Amino acid sequence: MPLKAKCKECGADIEIPDDALPGEIVSCPDCGLEYEIVSISAGKVELKLAEDIGEDWGE
Ligand SMILES: [Zn+2]
């Protein structure tokens, strides 16, 4: 059974693959917001927003 997490922004369910590892990036299917997986334990996943990784993406 895949893990799910709720998007903090829009409340959509984000599916976390069974083989996901801490440090991987997942994105919300609805709003596209990106989260980094902080930790995964049995049945529970903790995410943090990935947007603080850097802002060098702009023009
Ligand atoms: Zn979202």
* Beta carbons within 8 Å of 14's beta carbon, 6+ residues apart: 4, 5, 6, 7, 26, 27, 28, 29, 35, 47
Whether 13 is in a domain gets the answer: yes
Q: State in Å: Cα 56 to ligand 1 middle.
A: 22
- Classify residue 58: in a domain, yes or no: no
Q: Given this model, what pLDDT does residue 43 score? A: 80
Range of the domain at 14: 3-52
41, part of any domain: yes
- Number of other CB atoms surrounding residue 40 within 10 Å: 19
pLDDT by position in tens, the chain (length 59): 678 999 999 999 999 988 899 999 999 999 999 999 999 988 889 999 997 655 666 66
Name the strand (E) or helix (H) holding 55: none
User: How many helices (H) and strands (E) in the chain?
Assistant: 0, 5
CATH number of the domain at 46, please: 2.20.28.160
- Report CA(9)–ligand 1 centroid distance (Å): 5
In angstroms, what is the span from residue 35 Cα to ligand 1's centroid? 10
Q: What is the structure's pLDDT at 14? A: 95
- The pLDDT value recorded for residue 7 is 95
Number of domains in the chain: 1
- CA angle, 9 as apex, 40 and 33 as ends, to 5°? 70
Residue 59 lies in a domain: no
- Under DSSP, is residue 27 helix (H, G, I), strand (E, B) or coil? strand
